[in-house]
Structure 1
Amino acid sequence: MGAAKYISKSFESSAKTRTPEYRTRLSAWRKQGTIVRVETPLNPVRARGLGYKATNDYFVSRVKVTRGKRVRRQPDLGRKPAKNRKRVNPGKAWQWFAELKASLKYKNAKVLGSYWVGEDAVDQYYEVVLKTEN
Structure 2
Amino acid sequence: MALYKVLKELWKRPKQNLGSLYKERLIQFRRDPAIVKIDKPTNLARARSLGYKAKKGIVVVRVRVKAGGRMRPKFKAGRRSKHLRRTKIVSKSYQVVAEERAQRKFTNLEVLNSYEVMHDSVHKWFEVIMVDPYRPEIKKDKNLSWIVARKHTNRVLRGKTSAGKKSRGLRGKGKGHEKARPSLRAKGRQAN
Asked whether the two chains share a fold, i.e. TM above 0.5, the reply is yes
Residues 1:67 and 2:79 aligned together: no
Hey, what's the Cα distance between the residues in 1 that align with 2:18 and 2:77?
46
> 1 or 2, which has the higher strand percentage?
1
Query: Per chain length, whose mean CA-contact separation is higher, i.e. which structure has more relative contact order (CA < 8 Å, sep 6+)?
Result: 1
Aligned to 1:86: 86
- Which secondary structure state, in structure 2, belongs to the residue aligned with residue 79 of structure 1? coil
Pair 1:26–1:81, CA change in 2 (3 A): farther
Aligned length: 134
State the shift of 1:125 in Å: 0.6
- Which secondary structure state, in structure 1, belongs to the residue aligned with residue 11 of structure 2? helix
Q: 1:79-105, CA deviations, whole angstroms, 9 ceiling, x for partnerless residues?
A: 246523333120321111111111111
Q: TM-score, normalised by structure 2?
A: 0.64
Aligned to 2:124: 124
State the shift of 1:71 in Å: 2.6
- Which secondary structure state, in structure 2, belongs to the residue aligned with residue 51 of structure 1? coil
Is the deviation greater in 8-17 or in 49-58? Answer: 8-17
- Please identify runs of 4+ aligned residues in structure 1 that moved more than 2 A: 11-18, 71-76, 78-82, 84-87
Gap regions ≥5 residues in structure 2: 135-192
CA contact (8 A) 2:115 2:127 kept: yes
State the shift of 1:37 in Å: 0.6
State the shift of 1:75 in Å: 4.5
Aligned to 1:27: 27
Hey, what's the Cα distance between the residues in 1 that align with 2:74 and 2:58?
41
Aligned to 2:156: none
Aligned to 2:3: 3
CA contact (8 A) 1:74 1:84 kept: no
Identity of aligned residues (%): 33
State the shift of 1:19 in Å: 1.7
CA contact (8 A) 1:7 1:45 kept: yes
CA contact (8 A) 1:15 1:118 kept: no
- Which secondary structure state, in structure 1, belongs to the residue aligned with residue 129 of structure 2? strand
Hey, what's the Cα distance between the residues in 1 that align with 2:16 and 2:106?
32
AA in 1 matched with 2:127:
E
Aligned to 2:190: none
Hey, what's the Cα distance between the residues in 1 that align with 2:72 and 2:104?
21
Is the deviation greater in 114-123 or in 45-54? Answer: 45-54
AA in 2 matched with 1:87:
T
State the shift of 1:16 in Å: 4.6
AA in 2 matched with 1:49:
S
AA in 2 matched with 1:108:
N
